[in-house]
């Protein structure tokens, strides 16, 4: 047990760490469719175009606006209400910017951050409730690059295959203030193929946000993620630093279930039991966490060094084989040849799931990052945010952690 530091090797373009001093036996705690443009007509007034069939329209950002964030979306206000139906956005050099329309027609989102200190011209078509259309035009300029930015990270790599419980995990340093989370969440886009509902959930004081579906992802699902935070203004005077994106695949179903009462792990592949093996969990003083966790990191060989633990009984330096991280607090599945004689009968670990070397080797060769493990019957529950804990709460409780209302069945993509 002790204080730990998150391993940077598993972070996809992640330049931050968050710390949780929680018990464990590990060596380190680490803490849509594309929309075409409208054809401009003869201007009748600044920011407006001739609109013979519809009510007056005003483009957002307004014509002549300056110092706009590079996260700016293109919208419109229409007398009597209406939705944006088409947008053309060009930079000062005449290059057209690609983008996508939100599903609710509230705005059009550029597919990449706009450039700092650059002028853009937007031509917008909006459709009123009666079906009539209006057009408007706006030329605006973005702000210079800000000096004060948050750090952010996305735990997802392009073209990598993950387990069915892999949540989309985003981290922020410092954490996102509660008043800003809805604004930030609207810029975190997830699409699934085949389509599956989903929702976001904030934990750890706004330092982490998880996205998951009501059930594990369907095997073969493609996850397409964009965390579009570059230039987004926050209430604390900071701005988002960069956009991050990844497209990843969900592989076969592989799940582990551990029952402290029997001290057995049951392994399922494709929904079928493929192996049952004995384990030794954390002793009462250093119990393993109950709940559903996922494999976050795999190390074929490592060293657990807990010499900084305040409890002398928990200080040790031990070489470990086939280690698979479950929590930031240092709980792993790993080979423990020293406890093989009590595995299946008695708990002796510092919080880890001890298995024999042979079983640890077999598991290590089968698992992927994002494979779930559910542990039941221990003396404590896994703390929210101590690892990728998205599945340790029910769906009804999970959606309560969203900063935006979640429709029945899940929010899905904003596009």
Which are the catalytic amino acids?
334, 352
HSE-CB of 197 using CA atoms within 13 angstroms: 10
Q: Which residues contact 277 (CB under 8 A, 6 or more apart)?
A: 264, 265, 267, 355, 356, 359
Report the distance separating Cα 308 and Cα 35, nearest Å: 57
In Å, how far from its chain's centre is CA 274?
31
Strand, helix or coil for residue 312: helix
Alpha-carbon span 65 to 140, nearest angstrom: 5
* Measured distance CA(334)–CA(274) in Å, rounded: 19
Provide the token pair at 154.
């996305």
At 26 the three-state DSSP class reads coil
User: Residue 257 — φ and ψ, nearest 5°?
Assistant: -130, 130
In DSSP terms, which residues pair with 267 in a beta bridge?
A: 256, 275
- Element (H or E) spanning 381, and its range? strand 380-381
Task: Output the CA torsion 11→15→20→23 (10° steps).
Answer: 40
Q: How far apart are the first and last CA of the chain?
A: 45
Residue 219: count of CB within 10 angstroms of its CB: 14
């Amino acid at each position: 047990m002790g204080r730990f530091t998150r391993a940077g090797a598993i972070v996809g373009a992640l330049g931050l760490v968050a710390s949780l001093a929680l018990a464990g036996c590990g060596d380190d705690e680490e803490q849509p469719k594309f929309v075409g443009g409208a054809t401009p007509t003869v201007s009748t007034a600044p920011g407006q175009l001739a609109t013979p069939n519809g009510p007056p329209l005003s483009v957002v950002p307004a014509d002549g606006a300056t110092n706009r964030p590079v996260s700016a979306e293109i919208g419109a206000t229409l007398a009597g209400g209406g939705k944006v139906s088409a947008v053309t956005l060009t930079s000062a050099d005449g290059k057209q910017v690609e983008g996508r329309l939100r599903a609710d027609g509230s705005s059009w989102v550029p597919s990449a951050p706009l450039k700092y200190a650059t002028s853009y011209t937007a031509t917008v078509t909006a459709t009123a409730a009666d079906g009539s259309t209006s057009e408007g035009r706006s030329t605006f300029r973005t702000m210079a690059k800000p000096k004060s930015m948050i750090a952010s990270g996305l735990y997802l790599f392009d073209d990598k295959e993950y387990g069915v419980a892999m949540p989309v995990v985003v981290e922020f340093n410092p954490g996102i203030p509660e008043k800003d989370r809805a604004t930030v969440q609207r810029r975190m886009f997830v699409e699934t193929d085949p389509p599956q509902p989903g929702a976001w959930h904030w934990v750890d004081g706004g330092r982490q946000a998880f996205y998951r579906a009501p059930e594990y992802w369907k095997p073969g699902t493609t996850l397409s993620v964009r965390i579009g935070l570059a230039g987004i203004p926050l209430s604390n005077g900071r701005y988002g630093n960069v956009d991050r994106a990844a497209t990843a695949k969900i592989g076969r179903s592989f799940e582990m279930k551990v029952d402290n009462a029997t001290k057995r792990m049951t392994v399922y592949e494709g929904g079928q039991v493929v192996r049952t093996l004995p384990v030794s969990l954390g002793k009462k003083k250093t119990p393993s966490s109950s709940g559903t966790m996922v494999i976050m990191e795999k190390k074929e060989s490592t060293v657990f060094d807990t010499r900084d633990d305040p409890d002398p009984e928990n200080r040790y330096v031990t070489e470990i084989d086939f280690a698979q991280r479950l929590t930031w607090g240092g709980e792993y599945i790993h080979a423990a040849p020293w406890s093989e004689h009590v595995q299946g009968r008695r708990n002796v670990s510092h919080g880890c799931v001890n298995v024999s070397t042979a079983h640890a080797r077999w598991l290590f060769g089968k698992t992927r990052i994002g494979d779930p493990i559910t542990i039941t019957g221990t003396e404590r529950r896994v703390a929210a945010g101590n690892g990728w804990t998205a599945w340790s709460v029910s769906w009804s409780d999970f959606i309560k952690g969203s900063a935006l209302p979640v429709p029945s069945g899940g929010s899905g993509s904003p596009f």
